[in-house]
Amino acid sequence: MIGIDLIKTSRMNRLIERFGEKGLLKFLSVNEIELVKNYKTAAGFWALKEAVSKALGTGIGKECGFHDIEIFKTDKGAPYFVLNQNIVQKYGIVDTSVSITHDGEYAIAVATLEKN
């Protein structure tokens, strides 16, 4: 399964300017916020979570919320994510992959989920 999302980074900049960390906590954990370098990184994280939910076929909502997807970074700085165990079991997820890119005022993420 594959999902993709695109976000204009200025949208995230406005969210941060208006609500600060409280705005980020709507879709990121405290540990994820520590990984955010700037509004463009935050926008990429938003796109990642949206792309994952689309790959599941649910979108963000009742079946999969923002906090059911947790973002980490490898030692080399590459993003990866872990899904809530309930989602892994329900959808039979055995492997995941993600890529985030930024170009100008946009952040794009593509996520793949492999089922058993």
Q: Which residues are catalytic?
A: 54, 102
Sort 92 into a burial class: Cβ within 10 Å, 0-12 / 13-18 / 19+: exposed
CB 49 within 8 A of CB 66: yes
CB 47 within 8 A of CB 108: yes
